[in-house]
Structure 1
Amino acid sequence: MALPIPPAAQTPASAFERLLTILNNLRENCPWDKKQTMETLRHLTIEETYELADAILENDQQEIKKELGDIMMHLVFYARIASEKGDFDIADVLNSVCEKLIHRHPHIYGDVNVNDEQDVKRNWEQLKLKEGNKSVLGGVPSSLPALVKASRIQEKARGVGFDWEDKSQVWEKVEEELQEFKDEFQVLNEASIDAEKAECEFGDLLFSLINYARFININPENALEKTNKKFIKRFQYLEQKAKENGKQLQDMTLAEMDVYWNEAKRV
């Protein structure tokens, strides 16, 4: 027997209630939804988050709306699973984040004065330490991709005043790390290298570049992903043109491929 379809809602509260109703119906009646656990949903949530990130970079508003809905559904699903075990429910989740936001914004809900966003960030980190965090860096998830993790580490250190004074100092550090990497890599000759040391120096160089990006308000993750997309677009143009001319990339010289590559830059 088919269940009645919850009608479309006109307010945020009623729309959220509609989602809860539908999710509960699915959990109780759909064979696939019945079997899901937090563990089985985890990788799907990660995938949806990356899809949202892609849509944001593409500035595709309709896709952003769709992916936000997918992630919202996942969050409600996790809360439903937890409620079945008596651990917490969606109201607990929402009230918990509301209480945290109130507590960590004493300049809005209290009598603390701030001058700018940096004061807000410093207060935030200090409050987290008072809440029981043993380290300012304790809130950085160990499973984050290394590039994102480096940014978060640097931002959190800055939140307690551990930072360079100006971008010229940071750029000097970039140049220092670049020279150390070049020295270790023996870039000007064919001598053998210590791969482990070279890897460490390269990591230091990347870390310093990420730090400089932060100082000039560039998100390194976004910057690199935009370059990835640009490379993919140009490479696929190269593949298309080679195919149109009856050629295989592996049979072409680099000079021949460069012709199409340079064309792709102008497309």
Structure 2
Amino acid sequence: MKAELSAAAKGAAGRAAALLDAVPVPQDVPVPLVDEWRWWAAKQVQGAIATEEVMDKDGECGLVLERIARAAARLLPTWEMAARAAEVDRVLKLVDQAHWAEGWIHQFTGRGRRPTAAEDLENIGFVLDAMLAGWSQSAARAVAENRAHGGLAPTTAEITRSLTRAVVSMTDHEVFAPIASYVRTYRELRLPVVLDGKGRYGRLDVVIWIPHGPDIVVEIDSAPSAVSAGNLAFARDVGAFATVGPFRLGRNPGD
């Protein structure tokens, strides 16, 4: 049944696009956000068409289109929505996707967040540096041992997952102990900035929210990335503590 539904959904792409063309979208919504909505909406409509065809659920497409139209009508967040989201947990939900609320506040007002005490930034830098150093040493030892026993080099995806877990676990450090229960971590938060050539909004690999402190924004790449650099520059201008981790663990037997 799952395979049949998937095939029917793929075959409905053209019909879904035609139905979406008829859904009104406010004129003042940024193009990337419309692209994001359309990508999400197309999946919903294709699934609804497939459900009607394969499972004989008449009316499913109409219900989905109503939901999509409601989402389109409230695509552009207000300043109040962004400010409220930033106060609660830093996340703004748009088109069923989690966005970095501080980024939208910056877009609305052009202002960054309040200055952060130098001591707080130093503490964050110290913890992050120690965490990355510890991870790189333990990971390198693990890779060397695995290679010595004839194992394959880790894939980029495996390294990324390992480093992401390490970054997220940074909040277990004793520096965060007094506020540990209030700290929140997020992966793949979207942000309202698009570099040339990008249609939909980019994503931040890891965002760590610290009460009364700067958000920590981390981009993880295996090589220099103009997109990540743009994301970090945007985050920095909004007031976050931005950092990038370019790590290479040997792919050749002698590395």
TM-score higher than 0.5 here?
Answer: no
Q: Which has the higher helix share?
A: 1
TM-score by length of 2: 0.29
TM-score by length of 1: 0.28
Higher relative contact order (CA 8 A, sep 6+): 2
Q: Which has the higher strand share?
A: 2
User: Which is greater in Rg?
Assistant: 1
